[in-house]
């Protein structure tokens, strides 16, 4: 099983392994996770001090779920972003206070962790708390004694290191069943049976043409490793972890140079040749750097010019949009002016019509006035005749009464007088009705004339207001034309010239 790792974001510090590291340290860590991978199938797995998260990701291809716990918040954030498989989860927490429920884990892996703390017993007790019945712990730690033989440096991250015997005694005090072993990198040959066999054991064969030694386990292993449980352990495998490509390249080097000393000598020669080549390349690098700076400057100038062109184009678009808006407004003003003109023409027509109607009414009024004066004369004449008739009637009645008293008057004459009185009375009533009708017509004509005069005054006022609006609209259109001519058209031409200059690679004085 192989998988291309995602891009790494954590720096290599020499302590926490990252996937960009290809030193021998990678073989040591990957070998331990390979042992755990053989025990992780369909199990709930917890990786304490998971670091970058590559181990959690590897185990997730076999386990049902994997939880990675680390004390560093930034590391957990990186792992959570980098490894997003559905059965993987990362949590921040301490190894002495694991953020998991009791008996919720089937397999715990803890590689190169216990030497970083001094509370060894508390750490193992916390692991037992989260392990389910029959759960397994795979744990490793550097052997303090063997490490001191190969390196005099002190690791500042380690607080309480253990030698192999102390490590084995610690895990055996905590768990009922333990299988302990050792680990170190080797250059050699590997023999293994095709299938597991009870009669085959693991051993280290050491030596050369002058002799061979055989020892159980790993000779002078730098790391201690143990598989532990309170229940009998299932079958599992220890063995060799190989990267076939690196093995082939290493043996090709040894086949070419026979010994590591020859490889070292060749590397020294290559380094010296590299120094001489570097002296020859140095002036070329300086020239290339200068050209790179010039190219950067040219790119910067090109970007500035592109930004200027973009700004001018944006300004041109804004002005074009403004011109379109002004043209739309001018169109609206033209429509308004046409409406005002139509209203003025309608007002003029209405005023002329009103003047014509007023003249006709005035003529009609004069005619009625003349008729009224004639009627008034007739009424006055009728009144005089009525008075005369009344006087004559009274006179006749007086004479009649006197004659009746003195003698009998001719009846025909009396009847004639009575008829004349009735005729005069009837004519008087008729004249009264005619006078009332004429008076009513006169009142109506006066009211109509007053109404027409009011309409004429309103039409004249409306005509005056329309003319005023027309003059204001004309002034506004003149101002718009002036503004469009002096504030937009000239800058538009200037912007076009600047844009053309920029496009041609020239410079403008803004």
The CATH number linked to 407 is 1.10.287.1700
Q: Is 426 helix (H, G, I), strand (E, B) or coil?
A: helix
Q: What is the pTM of this model?
A: 0.51
Q: 218 with 102, same domain? A: yes
| Tokens (6 digits) for 146 | 């063997």
Lowest mean pLDDT among 96-100, 225-229, 233-237, 503-507: 503-507
- What are the start-end ranges of the H helices in 138-257? 144-150, 164-174, 244-257
Do 217 and 90 lie in one domain? The reply is: yes
Instruction: Name, of 107-116, 140-149, 242-251, 478-487, the range with top average pLDDT.
Output: 107-116
Is the same domain home to 236 and 352? no
Is the residue at 436 inside a domain? yes
- Find the CATH number of the domain harbouring 100: 3.40.50.150
Q: Of 226, 242, 258, which residue is a domain's last?
A: 242
Chain segment 42-65, per-residue pLDDT in tens: 999 999 999 889 999 999 999 999
Assign 3-class secondary structure to 223-268: EEEEEEECCCCCCCCCCCCCCHHHHHHHHHHHHHHCCHHHHHHHHH
Boundary (domain end) residue, out of 242, 265, 293: 242
Same domain assignment for residues 233 and 369:
no
Residue 359 lies in a domain: yes
Give the side-chain half-sphere CA count within 13 A for 159: 7
How many domains, the chain? 2
- Residue 17 lies inside a defined structural domain of this protein: no
**230 and 350 together in one domain:** no
Domain carrying residue 424: 335-503
| Listed residues 242, 258, 290: the one ending a domain | 242
Per-residue pLDDT tens over the stretch 393-442: 777 777 767 766 655 445 666 677 677 777 767 877 777 787 777 778 77
Domain contains 288: no
pLDDT digit string (tens) for 63-108?
A: 999 999 999 999 999 999 999 999 999 999 999 999 999 999 999 9
Cα distances from 149 to residues 28, 146, 165, 207, 346, in angstroms, run 18, 5, 17, 20, 118
Mean pLDDT, rounded, for 358-373: 77
85-115 b/e (C-beta count within 10 Å ≥ 16 → b): eeebbbeeebbeebebeeeebbbbbbbbbbb
């Amino acid at each position: 099983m192989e998988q291309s790792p995602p891009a790494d974001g954590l720096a290599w510090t020499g302590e926490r392994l990252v996937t960009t590291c290809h030193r021998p340290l990678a073989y040591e860590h990957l070998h331990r996770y390979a042992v755990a991978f053989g025990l992780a199938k369909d199990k709930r797995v917890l990786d304490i001090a998971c670091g970058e998260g590559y181990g959690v990701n590897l185990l997730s291809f076999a386990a049902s779920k994997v939880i990675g716990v680390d004390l560093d918040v930034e590391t957990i954030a990186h792992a959570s972003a980098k490894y997003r498989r559905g059965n993987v989860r990362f949590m921040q927490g301490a190894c002495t206070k694991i953020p998991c429920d009791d008996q919720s884990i089937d397999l715990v892996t803890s590689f190169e962790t216990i030497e970083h703390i001094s509370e060894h017993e508390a750490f193992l007790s916390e692991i037992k708390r989260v392990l389910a019945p029959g759960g397994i712990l795979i744990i490793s730690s550097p052997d303090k004694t063997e490490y001191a033989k190969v390196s005099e440096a002190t690791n500042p991250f380690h607080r309480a290191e253990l030698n192999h015997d102390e490590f084995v005694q610690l895990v055996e005090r905590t768990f009922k069943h333990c299988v302990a072993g050792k680990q170190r990198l080797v250059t050699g040959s590997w023999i293994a049976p095709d299938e597991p066999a009870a009669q085959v054991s693991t051993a280290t064969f050491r030596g050369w043409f002058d002799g061979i030694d055989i020892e159980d386990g790993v000779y002078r292993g730098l790391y201690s490793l143990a598989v532990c449980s309170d229940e009998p352990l299932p079958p599992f495998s220890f063995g060799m972890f190989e990267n076939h490509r690196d093995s082939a390249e290493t043996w090709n080097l040894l086949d070419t140079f026979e010994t590591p000393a020859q490889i070292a000598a060749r590397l020294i020669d290559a380094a010296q040749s590299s120094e001489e080549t570097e002296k020859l390349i140095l002036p070329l690098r300086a020239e290339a750097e200068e050209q790179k700076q010039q190219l950067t400057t040219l790119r910067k100038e090109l970007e500035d010019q592109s930004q200027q062109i973009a700004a001018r184009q944006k300004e041109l678009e804004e002005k074009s949009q403004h011109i379109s808006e002004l043209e739309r407004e001018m169109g609206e003003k033209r429509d308004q002016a046409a409406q005002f003109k139509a209203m003025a023409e309608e007002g003029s027509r209405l005023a002329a019509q009103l003047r014509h109607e007023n003249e006709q009414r005035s003529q009609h009024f004069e005619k009625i006035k003349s008729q009224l004066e004639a009627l008034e004369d007739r009424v006055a004449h009728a009144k005089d005749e009525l008075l005369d008739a009344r006087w004559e009637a009274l006179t006749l009645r007086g004479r009649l009464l006197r004659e009746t008293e003195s003698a009998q008057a001719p009846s025909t004459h009396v009847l004639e007088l009575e008829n004349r009185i009735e005729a005069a009375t009837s004519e008087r009533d008729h004249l009264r009705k005619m006078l009332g009708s004429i008076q009513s017509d006169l009142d109506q004509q006066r009211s109509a004339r007053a109404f027409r005069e009011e309409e004429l005054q309103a039409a004249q006022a409306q005509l005056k207001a329309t003319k005023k609006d027309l003059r204001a609209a004309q002034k506004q259109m003149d101002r718009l034309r002036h503004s469009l001519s002096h504030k937009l058209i000239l800058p538009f031409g200037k912007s076009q010239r600047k844009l053309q200059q920029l496009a041609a690679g020239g410079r403008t004085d803004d």
